[in-house]
Amino acid sequence: MSVYAQKVLDSLKTRYADQPEFVQAATEILNTLQPVIEKHPEYEKAGLLERYVEPERIIIFRVPWIDDEGKVQVNRGYRVQFNSAIGPYKGGLRLHPSVNLSIIKFLGLEQILKNSLTGLPIGGGKGGSDFDPKGKSDNEVMRFCQSFMTELYRHIGKDVDVPAGDIGVGAREIGYLYGQYKRITGLYEGVLTGKGLTYGGSLARTQATGYGLCYFTEAMLKANGQQIAGKTVVISGSGNVAIYANEKITQMGAKVVAMSDSNGYVYDPNGIQLNVVKEIKEGRRGRIREYVDAVPGATYTEGCSGIWTIPCDIALPCATQNEINGESAEQLIKNGVMAVAEGANMPSTLEATAAFQKAGVLFGPAKAANAGGVAVSALEMSQNSLRLSWTFDEVDNRLKDIMNGIFSKVNAAAKEYATEGDYVAGANIAGFLKVAEAMMAQGAV
Ligand code: NDP
Ligand code: 2IT
């Protein structure tokens, strides 16, 4: 690591010792930037890295709401407006009991580089709350979302900050949030993405992250003389990203044999029947274990990490951060995995990433591999500004081009600055260079 990057990281580790996920994401990024720092000594003078790791603004707020028993509940809301050098802040909202400042900051830091890689004009931000939508009625979720937006609305706008979905935030939550924003401001504008198709949403946004992950994986395999058809795949999670990753990779001729949720995983040697998963998860917010009631021959195992003991050629972690540790990575390698592409944000620990790279596994890091969701969000913003809607194929074709473009950029940056095939370094460097140039051009702000 460069002396300058090391100094910035050491200071982060001291100041934010209580933010392990944020420090982890910063460590991975700063670890890879040495060639860029060496080529641009002016960055240190301009305090560029110090500014890059410090959010422009953090908003933390109280979210009071009334449950179905008439009792007041209080949650904590966050929006981290991390970097607006290349466009308005853009990034999802996560609703999960584990949400805290460390998690939102790691997601925001990653989002800056991810959004840069899309080639579209979007800065980086992230937000959410420790509210748990699980087990809540639709009315409770609505009252929470309305209260959340009653504070958030003053900080966002179509040219300021455009939130979207993430874990626990899908079409239902975006609808309630949008309704409240419109009611308070009187503005019918593209302030959120992932909207329903009847009120400004984009076709293919629902599919975008999962499909994009498969387009990226296809490009990565192709560049290495491989193909997806005929491969056995394990996908963790069974939410938005996991479901559409399964749909696309199956269309590409692979067989998905396992999926999971936070309770456990199902294994189906005949190939997971996605219509059953969709009915359970999208249809009635059920649990993945219910799959075995519908499909004879499938088995359910309690606990999440066991899914990585199932032999596969391609692993697509699509649930949450740090779901693959060093031990799970070694297990996957031992079982012959040839590619890992991250649908979730930072699903591999630093040890797991190092193990995959050391073993020569093709490794597509999250900020490149899962950028399809935010890319189509940016296309939704374009359509809202144009007051037009593009067809599914038009959006899907743009998504494909964007994901191929991301792989090319990442591949080229790896070759030029680091080691051929090191897509972690390639993604960080290619994403960072654009943000750095824009920050330098705009002065010390
Ligand atoms: P969903 O809420 O739709 O699904 C999340 C899935 O992950 C569920 O199956 C959930 O299980 C599982 N999960 C969540 N937390 C944990 C946990 N602590 N341990 C094990 N499993 C867990 O979210 P998404 O599919 O949208 O998001 C999945 C990942 O993809 C996240 O990392 C997100 O940041 C990332 N991502 C999402 C994008 C998007 O467009 N939605 C874009 C880019 C990245 P359960 O139901 O039991 O909670
Ligand atoms: O992590 C992500 O890129 C997202 N959750 C999607 C963000 C967005 O603005 O669509």
Question: Which residue's CA is minimally distant from atom 33 of ligand 1?
Answer: 344
CA of 375 to the centre of ligand 2 (A): 8
- Cβ neighbours, 10 Å, residue 6: 13
Q: Which ligand is nearest to the CA of 99?
A: 1
206: Cβ below 6 Å to ligand 2?
no
Q: Is 348 in the pocket of ligand 1 (CB under 6 A)?
A: no
CB-side neighbour CA atoms (13 Å) of 38:
8
Question: Of the listed 90, 105, 126, 400, which one is catalytic?
Answer: 126
Contact (CB, 8 A) for 168 and 96? yes
Average pLDDT of the residues in 36-51: 97
Q: Please tell me the distance from the alpha carbon of residue 206 to that of residue 193, in angstroms, as a whole number.
A: 10
Q: What is the pLDDT of residue 170?
A: 98
Tell me: the pLDDT tens digits for 174-201? 999 999 999 999 999 999 999 999 999 9
> Once rounded to an integer, what is the mean pLDDT over residues 419-423?
97
Segment 118-145 shows an average pLDDT of 98
Cα distances (angstroms) measured from residue 292 to each of 1, 118, 280, 300: 49, 39, 11, 7
Quote the pLDDT of residue 85: 98
CA 336 to chain centre: 26
Q: Which residue has the higher pLDDT, 248 or 1?
A: 248
Closest CA to 317 of 349, 271, 279: 349
Cα angle, residue 427 at apex, residues 425 and 429 outer, rounded to 5°: 65
Q: What is the pLDDT of residues 307-356, one digit of tens each?
A: 999 999 999 999 999 999 999 999 999 999 999 999 999 999 999 999 99
Residues 50-70 have a mean pLDDT of 98
Cα distance between residue 146 and residue 19, in whole Å:
29
Ligand 2 centre distance from Cα of residue 373 (Å): 6
Cβ 92 under 6 angstroms from ligand 2: yes
Distance (angstroms) between ligand 1 centre and the Cα of 320 equals 5
- State the pTM of this model: 0.98
Nearest CA to ligand 1 atom 32: 344
Per the prediction, the chain carries an average pLDDT of 98
Strands 72-83 and 57-66: antiparallel
C-alpha span between 194 and 165 (Å, rounded): 7
Distance 39 CA to ligand 2 centre (A): 31
Which residue's alpha carbon is at the smallest distance from atom 9 of ligand 2? 91
Which ligand has the shortest distance to the CA of 378? 2
What average pLDDT does range 294-305 have in this prediction? 97
Ordered strands of the 255-260 beta sheet = 299-302, 264-267, 255-260, 232-236, 314-317, 339-341, 362-364
Note the pLDDT tens digit of each residue in 250-261: 999 999 999 999
Alpha-carbon dihedral sign for residues 186, 157, 140, 282? positive
Neighbours of 116 (CB within 10 A): 29
Q: What local confidence, expressed as pLDDT, does residue 22 receive? A: 98
Q: Does ligand 1 lie within 6 Å of residue 194's CB atom?
A: no
State the pLDDT at residue 1.
Answer: 86
Task: Give backbone dihedrals phi and psi of 222, rounded to 5 degrees, phi first.
Answer: -60, -40
Residue whose structure tokens are 């031992």: 334
CB 186 within 8 A of CB 376: no
E strand or H helix that includes residue 26 = helix 20-32
Would the CB of 304 count as within 6 Å of ligand 1? yes
Give the SS3 label for residue 82.
Answer: strand
Provide the token pair at 316. Answer: 């697509």
Element (H, E) at 61: strand 57-66
88 lines ligand 1 (CB under 6 A): no
pLDDT in tens, 23-33: 999 999 999 99
Alpha helix ranges (H) inside 335-422: 350-358, 366-369, 372-386, 392-417
For ligand 2, atom 3: residue with the closest CA: 374
Contact 242, 318 (CB under 8 A): yes
SS3 of 123-140: EEEEEEECCCCCCCCHHH
State pLDDT tens for residues 186-240.
Answer: 999 999 999 999 999 999 999 999 999 999 999 999 999 999 999 999 999 999 9
Task: Tell me whether residue 126 is one of the annotated catalytic residues.
Answer: yes
pLDDT at 113 over 90: yes
Q: What's the average model confidence in pLDDT over 82-91?
A: 98
User: What whole-number distance in Å separates Cα of residue 201 and Cα of residue 304?
Assistant: 33
Mean pLDDT, residues 143-159 taken together: 98
